[in-house]
Amino acid sequence: MKYGFFDDNALEYVITTPKTPLPWINYLGNREFFSLISNTCGGYTFYKDAKLLRLTRYRYNNVPYDNNGKYFFIKDGDTIWNPGWQPVKTALDSYECRHGLGYSTFTSSKDDVEAKVLTFVPMEDNCEVSKVTLINKKNSDASLTLFSYVEWCLWNADDDMKNFQRNLSTGEVEVTDGGSVIYHKTEYRERRNHYAIYGVNTAVDGFDTSRDAFLGAYNGPDSPDAVKEGKCTGSVASGWSPIAAHQINVNLKPGESKTFIFTLGYIENPEDDKWEAPSVVNKKPAIAMLNKFKTEEAVDASLEELKNYWKELLSIYHVSSSNDKVDRMVNIWNQYQCMVTFNMSRSASYYESGIGRGMGFRDSCQDLLGFVHLIPDRARQRIIDIASTQFQDGSAYHQYQPLTKKGNSDIGSGFNDDPLWLIAGTSAYIRETGDLSILKEMVPFDNDMSVAKTLMDHLKCSFNFTATHTGPHGLPLIGRADWNDCLNLNCFSEHPGESFQTFGPSEGPVAESVFIAGMFVKYGEEYAQLAELLGDDAEAARAREEVKKVYDATCTAGWDGDWFVRAYDANSNKVGSKECEEGQIFIEPQGFCVLAGIGVEEGLAEKALKSVEEKLDTKYGVMILQPAYTKYHLELGEVSSYPPGYKENGGIFCHNNPWVSIAETVLGHGNRAFEIYKKTCPAYIEEISDVHCTEPYVYSQMVAGRDAKFFGQGKNSWLTGTAAWTFVNISQYILGVYPTHNGLSINPCVPEDFGDFNITRKYRGATYNISVKQSGAQKGVSKLLVNGKEVEGNVIPYEEGVKEYTVEAVIG
Ligand code: GLC
Ligand code: GLC
């Protein structure tokens, strides 16, 4: 069952009922000011950091779900309704929500009154703009009252929901222009130089800034007293819970419409220019912001700018094939999700509360892989930021806070895959741009500039960290965990409340990871190539020698007969082996070792992927392990704590499905690679939205596995490495346009019935118009013509100054 449809021409997903199985959300904002908005107008807003600078409150884990947002109420006689249906939930006569790229619209009607709401974050301003239009479609005059409502968060979202003894007394506001503009200035007096505003471009008939006054004690936003009365109270909040609400009386003749523009903004003042009078905040920048979006023309132009921005970004990689689902994912939604994961890492979604995780070291490095072609300059800065949280021994903070860019010491370091992901991200950036200068940038360790070294030295530290932390079998030590946060082989937690990852010794001299071995082979080689590009052949040779050792260990101690072992635990027992009672085969080493090229010549790769197909495959994707753990294994940790079929215990953890798909392309299996791609691809499972539950336009972290009661159900949508890895898979491996250091390589691996396709790729200042002809084969370019001339091999030689390349490739 579907709850909407794709409108590819408009670059939108259209939701036709507010009652989706879960809130289906969108992200507004591209740089520093962000909002989450659901199909029922729920969501929240923050500036730069979802924990430290949260503008509006959201109630996670509440009933009904998706509670709190930026709401508009329409009172028409005794009927009160919302364009997004929530929070009042009055049945609507019509409803449509369109999630576009950086904006959302709602068009709803009730009793012949139509409301249109457009909400977006402009390109250059720290605000969210909502254009609200009311249209009278009755035969008679309509006398309506429009109310707006937002609830302020007292900035630190973590403290805001814990520290009531203080927070119920700190709230402060100012109100100007008869109530049209409301300033939220809690803590501005002392240590902050920022405030928030909510203003509307018209005179108002009332306002409220105290939540209790607007809602009434014991009421929620589903039944605000002020709206029921048809009148705000003019409250000026002092402590308790400040809000911003406007009341506008709207009289409309038949056929008449009126439009209002609401601006929710974040304003920062210079330290020495905070006040315009004692206790009165300096409003100059706020007034400028409000003036900027005073007219419909200005708002429409700003939306147009945003749309053009996205069109431009999406023209960098564009495919046109005979397969509309592939085209819509590649050309629109997958790249859009890559931007969102780049911006958010794993911090703020409807499932990540925005107060816990900040930016993940491994997560953000992987997010770069799907983003770097879009805005290389931002990727460059991100690489430097991430590398700045590395320690001198090559290990790294597992997470850092986006506002301060400092590592989070409560989690610390010790996740032994982290260092290698820095090589992955940097290599992708350089292959995209050719910009070797980044390797010479001076980058601090743990944010301490006095011990800064070049980025290349950082990569060397990463490489050496793995090379020097190997265990009894010559495989890399796992530390607290590798990519799989739940494989806690040094932890031994027996009591609830202990962190699985940081409890116990956490890092031990024995437990080893075959997954990190796969990473070391792949990214060790990429490191060696960077060394060569800098002219350091000796370092490249040294790196390849180290890689060879781990390669050999993986093919011996890391091989179980029919598939790769997952790990060795702290007692040197195998994890992910036939010998195990449960958890005999894991997906990660099969996918990653094969995509790294391990065992391809030896025939191990072929066997490993066959085993994946036999043991882990389902109709909804490839499960992370089998058989799922039914008992808690103290020596394995959190992985065995989840009920079978969920999360890391046998769920379909979407992130590593593209690894297996890429691995299949390495072996030339286009049919199978594409079959795996399709199983988790949102556009392909749109029809089963009632089973899948999460948004049909983006990937989720997990789909419940075969052992779970709700097999096929998605969870934790949006913020997942699946976005980047899937884009890498489909764009670079299946469709086969891969950036190398020497130029674009064309080497598709597609199903035999895929048909011809064309790709436009902008790369290093040139446009490549690539047409691929298929003659029944899955892989193997038999002919490559570049600007009419035949070229040997797969790589289009890069010629300085050439702006257009016409490329014709024949598979088979
Ligand atoms: C989560 C984490 C990611 C980890 C994965 C597997 O998605 O964000 O860092 O690799 O789970 O445990
Ligand atoms: C839990 C989750 C895992 C996530 C980690 C992040 O272990 O199962 O998916 O990566 O928490 O802290």
Q: What is the pLDDT of residues 431-468, one digit of tens each?
A: 999 999 999 999 999 999 999 999 999 999 999 999 99
pLDDT of 800 over the 90 cut: no
Please tell me the distance from the alpha carbon of residue 281 to that of residue 195, in angstroms, as a whole number: 9
pLDDT of 567 over the 90 cut: yes
Q: Residue 639 Cα, ligand 2 centroid: separation in angstroms?
A: 9
pLDDT of 792 over the 90 cut: yes
Q: Residue 631 Cα, ligand 1 centroid: separation in angstroms?
A: 22
Q: How confident is the model at residue 170, as a pLDDT? A: 98
Q: How confident is the model at residue 114, as a pLDDT? A: 98
Please tell me the distance from the alpha carbon of residue 415 to that of residue 398, in angstroms, as a whole number: 7
Cβ(443)–Cβ(384) below 8 Å = yes
The model's confidence at residue 358, banded by pLDDT at 50, 70 and 90, is confident
**How many CB atoms within 10 Å of residue 684?**
15
* CA geometry: angle 448, 450, 456, nearest 5 deg: 80
Q: Which atom of ligand 1 lies closest to the CA of 701?
A: 7
* Neighbouring-strand partners of residue 771: 758, 808
Q: What is the pLDDT of residues 734-784, one digit of tens each?
A: 999 999 999 999 999 999 999 999 999 999 999 999 999 998 899 999 999
CB 366 less than 6 A from any atom of ligand 1 = no
pLDDT of 402 over the 90 cut: no
Q: Residue 797 Cα, ligand 2 centroid: separation in angstroms?
A: 43
Please tell me the distance from the alpha carbon of residue 570 to that of residue 553, in angstroms, as a whole number: 18
Cβ(488)–Cβ(500) below 8 Å = yes
The model's confidence at residue 365, banded by pLDDT at 50, 70 and 90, is very high
CB 357 less than 6 A from any atom of ligand 1 = no
User: Catalytic residue among 208, 485, 617, 707, which?
Assistant: 485
Write down the number of H helices and E strands in the chain.
Answer: 20, 43
The model's confidence at residue 504, banded by pLDDT at 50, 70 and 90, is confident
Percent of the chain's residues with pLDDT above 90:
96
Cβ(415)–Cβ(362) below 8 Å = yes
Please tell me the distance from the alpha carbon of residue 770 to that of residue 757, in angstroms, as a whole number: 8
pLDDT of 410 over the 90 cut: no
The β-bridge relationship of strands 625-626 and 33-38 is unpaired
**How many CB atoms within 10 Å of residue 611?**
18
pLDDT of 798 over the 90 cut: no
Our answer to whether residue 485 is catalytic in this structure is yes
Cβ(106)–Cβ(14) below 8 Å = no
Q: How confident is the model at residue 357, as a pLDDT? A: 82
pLDDT of 3 over the 90 cut: yes
pTM: 0.98
The DSSP-derived string for 166-177 is HHTTT-BEEEEG
DSSP state of 40: T
Backbone angles phi, psi at 556, to 5 degrees: -110, -80
Residues with CB under 6 A from ligand 2: 485-486, 638, 647-648
Structure tokens at 213: 């006054």
Structure tokens at 256: 């008449």
Percent of the chain's residues with pLDDT above 70:
100
Q: What is the pLDDT of residues 685-742, one digit of tens each?
A: 999 999 999 999 999 999 999 999 999 999 999 999 999 999 999 999 999 999 999 9
CA atoms within 13 A on the CB side of 451: 12
Please tell me the distance from the alpha carbon of residue 184 to that of residue 186, in angstroms, as a whole number: 6
Q: What is the mean pLDDT of the chain?
A: 97
pLDDT of 30 over the 90 cut: no
Cis peptide bond upstream of 64, omega within 30: yes
The model's confidence at residue 506, banded by pLDDT at 50, 70 and 90, is confident
**How many CB atoms within 10 Å of residue 615?**
18
Q: Which ligand minimizes its atom distance to the CA of 659?
A: 1
The model's confidence at residue 322, banded by pLDDT at 50, 70 and 90, is very high
Cβ(117)–Cβ(84) below 8 Å = yes
